[in-house]
Amino acid sequence: MQQKGWGIFFGVVLLAAFLSIAVGPLVGWWLPANVSSFGPDVDYLYYVILGFTTFFFLLTEVLLVWAMYRFAGRPGNKSQYVEGHHRLEMLWTVVPGGILLYIAIAQISAWERIKYQAKMPDPDLVMQVTARQWDWTMRYADTPLPENHRRWAEIPNFDDIYLPDELHCWKGANVRIYLKTNDVLHSLFLPQLRLKQDALPGKTIPVWFNATDANTRFNASTGNCEWTDKNKEWEIACAELCGGGHYRMRGLLYVHETKDDYLNWLKHAQKAARSRQPEKKATPVAAKD
Amino acid sequence: MSVSHSHSAEAHAHHELSFLRKYIFSEDHKIIGIQFLFSGLIFFLIGGTLALLVRLQVGFPKGINLPWFPISWGGRMSPDFYAMVFSMHATIMIFFVIIPLLTGAFGNFTIPLMIGARDMAFPKLNMMSYWFMWPAFAVILSSFFVEGGAGASGWTSYPLLASATMPAGEGFHSPASPHSGIGQICWLVALLFVGVSSMMGSINYMTTIINLRAPGMTMFRMPMTVWAMFITAILQSMALPVLTVALILQLLDKTINTTFFLPPGGMAFGNWHTGPGGGQTLLWQHLFWFYSHPAVYIMILPAMGMVSDIISTFARKHLFGYKPMVLAIAGIAGLGFIVWGHHMFQSGMDPRLGTGFMIATIMIALPSAVKTFNWLGTIWGANIQYTTAMLNALAFVAMFVIGGLSGIFMAATPVDVYFHDTYFIVAHIHYVLFMSSIFGIFGGIYYWFPKMFGRLMNEKWGKVHFVLTFLFSNCTFFPMHIIGIAGHPRRYYDSTLYRFLDNVQPLNQFMTISAFLLALAQIIFLVNFFWSLFRGAKAGANPWHSNTLEWTAPSPPPHGNFVQTPIVRRGPYEYGNPDMEEDYLPQAEPQPSGIPAPAH
């Protein structure tokens, strides 16, 4: 009996682990709500993989626990004398092989859609984001779509607006970000947009997204952008180690309801920038710890 | 080759060696293996302590203040110190614990014994491979005390955080991080020594396995442990030169201001500009992962081999599908060389390369699945003896399933966009490296301890240690999957700054408390280990009734291993033969009369 207990012990621990994941969606330990046009593709593929892995997790662990229980040693007993089984080997090579190949091929179109430069949609709004230790500088042109935007990304314009840690766009806009870094590697991570891209020293990397939900409204009387819903405070994080302050490269994503609302905000931001000191970058150089 | 070797081994046997030559500067593979074992375990304590500091910060970023806990502590470490702690935790665990324990300790101890050789092919080279670890030990430990502290760029040491340097003549400070100065140089030098040590070991293992097998020990009569060590050695010998090159390039960047990893335009740190460079930061990632992805398999394949032997022994049953198991290891090793790019899906590498790397990476799950099913096949219909070694080996299988399956999420490029560099990858690596490799190592220690020291470890306390370790390690590492799904980035000093992580902070605290309990449980292992070393019950030559050759030698085996060179007559897994009264038939035992000899 004591021998059989080991199978039960393994079973209980594995069941607890399984349940802790299974209750995740109920208690909020799950993916944050998606607000990106390609987010459903990512989430769908996540659930496909989750389905297959859950099946194989349950299959192998149940067999293991059952075998540990059923075949616990008894004195005087002998094991079966089997060296292998050719057809079983074929079965458990070909079936998982087919499933894995399906999983791999299923990823390709979503990957192309998210990252291939040739497949990125024509932008409605272009901005250039520069990471450094430890903040983000968002550079906006005076119009949502500057002419020859690839060139604009490389050559700053007198009319550009620089804002620290605030990423503004409007709902439904195809946003193109030209991502750069001043110093070390960083990674632009927007969990709700299912977006992540490293910033690479010496390179400009195009990134795109299209937000399917709005979270802010520009208030012309106060000059502030106000959240439409307290729970829609979408954050920007850094996902590549960049030194001591890695954890505090926090930014915010402002998705305006309409293009007009965005333009109102842009006009205001422009005026505010002009009335400031002539120096371009409003943010002080971050003090190093 | 083998002739001259056996001569020298006999010459050794004739005169008694001094203590210094016998136990310190020993050329005996068993002593060298035990030396690797002890230094690995000491570094395991250091790496584990660093892990507790990491958990302390992540679980309680603002200090400890729990209603039910008597100690309230508001102290905090600095963000740079935290970065140093997690970087050195990973560096020490990977390069000073798991690789030296698996290949250094178990590779050295088991290979000659399991193939019936008197020693390694190159005993002096073997000694050098251990003593090349000592400069690495000295440099990595002293790096904590140099100006700026030890390296803090993660175990991956990506440029430019790791490699940025002041202009020539202005010292070794780094504008990127205070830890990237002399501390980073120490990191590079230490790893160079570790690499050279591993290289010497791998050459020795390959040569020994190819040339020094006992008569009758054909390749397909070798135990899985030896197969795994053999393929691991091939992996090491092919991947290590690339790491060595990468380390030297970064060392040159840091000391004589070359610019292998600095882009042409140079970079600006605050208002200070580095001046022009001529290289690429991505170059490091390619070179580093070309080694370090195969290194992931270097850290698991030997454990897979050991676990296969332990499971077959205590299941009292023939290993299910021996040849598919060998092919699976070879398949993992072969595919292992063309998947390194999956660490770089979000790195800015051309995404079209990502597609190819993804397909290769997802397919590498196949040989892992084949191995798992064969282990299940081995215990199906078995007569399982639940020794501590067996429990650890079964835990390896149960946990490797989780670690293997979680890898598929990050291998899938679109899903990886979200999961990359979150705690999900931290969960994955710990399920492979702690929950699998370390359980394999524990299993190996409990299993071969009687052969190493002639005494058995205490089984009762071994089981207590196992139960607590299995429980608390799952409590420590499993919730990492959950906070990873919630998007928690890795290497964060204080995640309470972020609203989207608010509701997973209690899990962080739970994991920290579990980690401390897990650490406490290891005290049982240490006490059992040292108590058994001197007071354990005496083990005979073959306490587990096992078939492989090392159990025909006395425990512990003398210098030269075997009283008489064994002649191998069959494969290593003849358990439970229905025609015999005994349920095992050792490899070197003459064929009992009336029982047909196996075809292979």
Stretch B387-407: mean pLDDT? 97
Residues of chain B contacting residue A235, judged by C-beta atoms under 8 Å apart:
498-500
Does A83 map to a domain?
A: no
Closest CA of chain B from A215, distance in Å: 15
Percent of chain B with pLDDT over 90: 87
Arithmetic mean of pLDDT over chain B: 93
- Per-residue pLDDT, B67: 78
B239 within some domain: yes
Mean pLDDT score across all residues of chain A: 92
Residue A223 sits in a domain of what CATH number?
2.60.40.420
Residue A79 to residue B401, Cβ atoms within 8 A: no
- Residue-wise pLDDT for B515-561, tens only, equals 999 999 999 999 999 999 999 999 999 999 999 999 999 999 998 99
- Per-residue pLDDT of A87-141, as tens digits, reads 999 999 999 999 999 999 999 999 999 999 999 999 999 999 999 999 999 999 9
User: Residue B389 CB: number of other CB atoms within 10 A?
Assistant: 29
pLDDT higher than threshold 50 for residue B138: yes
* pLDDT for position B65: 77
Give the confidence band of B600 by pLDDT, cuts at 50, 70, 90: low
Tell if the CB–CB gap between A247 and B497 is shorter than 8 Å.
yes
Q: Can you read off the two tokens belonging to residue B559?
A: 């210098």
Residue with tokens 């081994």: B9
Q: Shortest CB distance from B485 goes to which of A24, A132, A245? A: A24
Let me know if residue A255 belongs to a domain. yes
Per-residue pLDDT for B122 more than 70? yes
Overall average pLDDT of the A79-92 stretch: 93
Among A219-223, B191-195, B312-316, B446-450, the range scoring the smallest mean pLDDT is A219-223
pLDDT for A282 beyond 50: no
Task: Please indicate, yes or no, whether residues A96 and A149 belong to a single structural domain of this protein.
Answer: no
pLDDT above 50 for B8 = no
On whether both A112 and A143 belong to a single domain, the answer is no
Instruction: List, for residues B305-334, the tens digit of each pLDDT value.
Output: 999 999 999 999 999 999 999 999 999 999
The 10 Å Cβ neighbour count of residue B518 is: 25
pLDDT digits (tens, 9 = 90+) for B213-227: 999 999 999 999 999
Q: Does B262 touch chain A (CB under 8 A)?
A: yes
pLDDT value, residue B110: 97
Q: Assign B6 a pLDDT band (cuts: 50, 70, 90).
A: very low
Q: How far is A84 from chain B (nearest CA, A)?
A: 4
Mean pLDDT within B384-408: 97
What tens digit of pLDDT does each residue of B328-367 get? Answer: 999 999 999 999 999 999 999 999 999 999 999 999 999 9
A94 is a domain residue: yes
pLDDT band at A1 (very low <50, low <70, confident <90, very high): low
Alpha-carbon span B228 to B239, nearest angstrom: 16
Asked if residue B585 is part of any domain, the answer here is: no
> What's the number of domains chain B is made of?
1
For the cut 70, the answer to whether the pLDDT of residue B598 exceeds it is: no
Residue A228 has pLDDT above 80, yes or no: yes
Q: At B592, is the pLDDT very low, low, confident or very high (cuts 50, 70, 90)? A: confident
Least confident piece of the model among A147-161, B28-42, B457-471: A147-161
Asked if A99 and A21 sit in the same domain, the reply is yes
Contact A84 B263 (CB under 8 A): no
Residues spanned by the domain of B514: 27-265+279-552
Chain B residues touching residue A243 (CB < 8 angstroms): 80, 83, 152, 161, 176-177
Residues 6+ apart with CB under 8 A from A30: A24, B485, B486
DSSP B100-147: IIIIIIIIHHHHHHHHT-SS-S-HHHHHHHHHTHHHHHHHHHHGGGST
Q: Identify the band that residue A278 occupies on the pLDDT scale cut at 50, 70 and 90.
A: low
Q: Which positions in chain A touch B410 (Cβ < 8 Å)?
A: none
Let me know whether A126 and A268 are in one domain: yes
Q: Phi and psi (nearest 5°) for A270? A: -60, -45
Does B1 score more than 70 pLDDT? no
A180 CA to chain B: closest CA distance, Å? 11
pLDDT at position B5 over 60:
no
In a domain, B19, yes or no: no
Three-class DSSP labels, B450-493: HHHHCECCCHHHHHHHHHHHHHHHHHHHHHHHHHHHCCCECCCC
Residue A125 sits in the same domain as residue A241:
yes
Would you state the pLDDT for residue A277?
54
The answer on pLDDT for A236 being more than 50 is: yes
Instruction: Read off the pLDDT of each residue in B84-104 and give the average, rounded to a whole number.
Output: 97
Asked whether residue A53 is domain-assigned, the answer is: yes
Are both A246 and A177 inside the same structural domain? yes
Range of the domain at A162: 121-275
A113 and A209 fall within a common domain: no
Mind telling me how many Å the CA of B32 is from chain A's nearest CA?
A: 35
Specify if B133 maps to a domain. yes
**B503 near A28, Cβ under 8 Å?**
yes
Distance, in Å, from the CA atom of B238 to the CA atom of B246, rounded to the nearest integer, reads: 14
Rounded-to-integer distance, Cα B436 and Cα B377, Å:
19
| Domains contained in chain A, number | 2
Confidence of residue B9 (pLDDT cuts 50, 70, 90): very low
